[in-house]
Amino acid sequence: MRDLAALPKAHLHLHFTGSMRLETLVELASTTRTRLPASLLDGDPLRVPADRRGWFRFQRAYDTARALVRSEETMRRLVLEAALDDASEGSRRLELQVDPTSYAPYVGGITPALEIILDAAAQASVLSGVEVAIIVAASRMRHPLDARTLARLAVRYAGQGPGEVVGFGLSNDERAGDTASWGPAFDIARRGGLALMPHGGELLGPRHVREVVSALGPTRLGHGVRASEDPALLDQIVAAGISLEVCPASNVSLGVYRQAGDVPLAALLEHGAQVALGADDPLLFASRLTDQYEIARSLGCDDRALADLARGSIRASLASPASKRAWLAQVEDWLA
């Protein structure tokens, strides 16, 4: 059994606030005298019974953490720590999702908020050796017109490399809003050359996934695991070349599946789906990137299959062809 932290991989589903180290959260809370909910501190989200996991408990914890990010210094720290943690887990490329709207009030608007993140991502790439690119993610909890504003902003910083915006996403509660109403924002992002990676297919099933696919035209789906419930839909997704950002710990923590063994990873792979494992919100799920590969190993993936998953993550990333070639060769070295 080879060391999974040494397996070269790309990390394509990680949220800015959710990437925070627990020690950092505790430190920020103590300097602002904020009381943290016990669920954030106990370090074991799965101790909660399956029927009490659910979205709203998650959302409360997330909001508590986000409310502590109130300065440029903290924003820069989070990006750097996310990159350093990824580096220690064999990640070569981190595509970090952020909605700059949440931090705009503390730094003078959404434009400076995004510029701080991008500058921090460029610096973190140098310091960690991990390419850190940014996905600007609109929120389903805000008005679709806000998403258009964000898409226009994201397009101004579009690129492929570290410290640039590579994609546009749509995050937060899948059940909120009418998916088609975000179509115009995704059109702006697409015309501006950005890849598209909305969330879909975690909390809701095939019908909703179909809506996301047809209305938003994703390059990758954030999650997409529930597409496994409809083989014809999964075929359509595979045929369209849409990769799936699968986050097993998130699925179990949110109560989508009772236990890791129920995550339909094998079904997705057997169908030919290109999968990139992601940690989503390690702060809240107490499970980081390498842990997702450990879960895959516990589901029966041998080292060859785990290397295939790593290759899938690299191929599904938006890194340059030269970077991808180099990392794929490193996966071969890991297997040798």
Complex with Zn ion: residue 94 or 307, whichever CB lies closer = 94
How is residue 243 annotated by DSSP? E
In whole angstroms, the minimum distance from the beta carbon of 140 to Zn ion comes to: 12
Q: Which residue is nearest to Zn ion (CB)?
A: 280
- Near Zn ion by CB under 5 A, which window of 128-136, 140-148, 279-287, 324-332? 279-287
Residues 6+ apart with CB under 8 A from 57: 39, 48
Total site size for Zn ion, rule CB under 5 A: 1
User: Which has the closest alpha carbon to 198: 228, 165, 174, 164?
Assistant: 174
In whole angstroms, the minimum distance from the beta carbon of 13 to Zn ion comes to: 6
In whole angstroms, the minimum distance from the beta carbon of 52 to Zn ion comes to: 21
In whole angstroms, the minimum distance from the beta carbon of 322 to Zn ion comes to: 29
* Single-letter code of the amino acid located at 56: F
In whole angstroms, the minimum distance from the beta carbon of 63 to Zn ion comes to: 15
Using DSSP's 3-state secondary structure scheme, residue 173 falls into coil
Please pick, among 174, 202, 245, 294, the residue that the annotation labels catalytic.
202
Complex with Zn ion: residue 168 or 334, whichever CB lies closer = 168
Both ends of the chain: CA-CA distance in Å? 12
Q: Does 99 bind Zn ion (CB under 5 A)?
A: no
* Single-letter code of the amino acid located at 249: A
- Near Zn ion by CB under 5 A, which window of 22-30, 68-76, 117-125, 277-285? 277-285
Whether the Cβ atoms of residue 263 and residue 252 lie closer than 8 Å to each other: yes
Q: Answer yes or no: 202 catalytic.
A: yes
Residues 6+ apart with CB under 8 A from 15: 96, 97, 98, 137, 171, 280, 281
- Near Zn ion by CB under 5 A, which window of 158-166, 227-235, 278-286, 322-330? 278-286
Residues 6+ apart with CB under 8 A from 165: 114, 118, 133, 134, 135, 136, 154, 155, 157, 158, 159, 194
Whether the Cβ atoms of residue 194 and residue 166 lie closer than 8 Å to each other: yes
Using CB under 5 A, pick the residue from 280, 291, 314, 317 that binds Zn ion.
Answer: 280
What tokens were used for 12? 């394509």
* Single-letter code of the amino acid located at 324: K
- Near Zn ion by CB under 5 A, which window of 66-74, 150-158, 259-267, 273-281? 273-281
What tokens were used for 4? 């999974």
From residue 18 to residue 57, what is the string marking binding to Zn ion with x (rule CB under 5 A)?
----------------------------------------
Name residues contacting Zn ion, limited to 232-271 (CB under 5 A): none
Complex with Zn ion: residue 89 or 280, whichever CB lies closer = 280
Binding site for Zn ion (CB under 5 A): 280
Active site residues: 202
